[in-house]
Amino acid sequence: MNVGKNRSAARDDIDVLWDDLGVFVRRLRTKRNDHKLTPSQIQALGHLDRQGPLTAKALAKFERVTPQSVAKTVTALEEQGMVTRSSDPSDGRAVLVTMTELGTSTLHEDRTKRTAWLAEVIDAECTEAERDLLLIAGRILRKLGQDASPASASVSVSASEESLMNP
């Protein structure tokens, strides 16, 4: 067996996966509402929607960016009325970022439009088996995108597989 050749083929497959993901993400970005928010701003709103108010430091950690980058994003969102900033009651030195009603409605309208497009294209282009595989792939991609922790590394393979099959 030629291990080097297999590794090379696997790397070629990964290169194709990168390209495939890029094509999909670019197409998905064209399906958003005309709100003029950047992908980083939409992502920040998504974290605030899922987690609730966050300190700027915590938001930067979720976004995996520097505090300076998240500060620019938060400033732009605040200027558009999507978020407010206030002192964190548990740490007066920290800034707490909270989504406004406008931020919540903008995010939800954006998600609704993108979800409708994705559901429509999946129904039109995919078999039921392909749809199921896409949903499983999504869970795998989320798992790969999350930070590994010692606790999650000790999960058994069967439990891990089951969690991918059943959301």
Q: What is the pLDDT of residues 1-22, one digit of tens each?
A: 566 677 788 888 899 999 999 9
pLDDT digits (tens, 9 = 90+) for 143-155: 998 765 444 443 4
Contacts of 157 (CB under 8 A, 6+ apart): none
For 31-125, CATH gives: 1.10.10.10
Cα–Cα distances in Å, from 31 out to 24, 27, 28, 111?
11, 7, 5, 10
Angle at 35 between CA 80 and CA 113, to 5 degrees: 135
* Residue of higher predicted confidence among 157 and 56: 56
> Is the model more confident about 35 or about 165?
35
Q: What is the pLDDT, as a whole number, of residue 139?
A: 94
Domain ranges of the chain: 31-125, 128-167
Confirm if 94 and 71 have CB atoms less than 8 A apart: no
Taking the C-alpha atoms of residue 99 and residue 106, their distance in angstroms, rounded to an integer, is 10
Percentage of the chain lying above the pLDDT 70 cut: 82
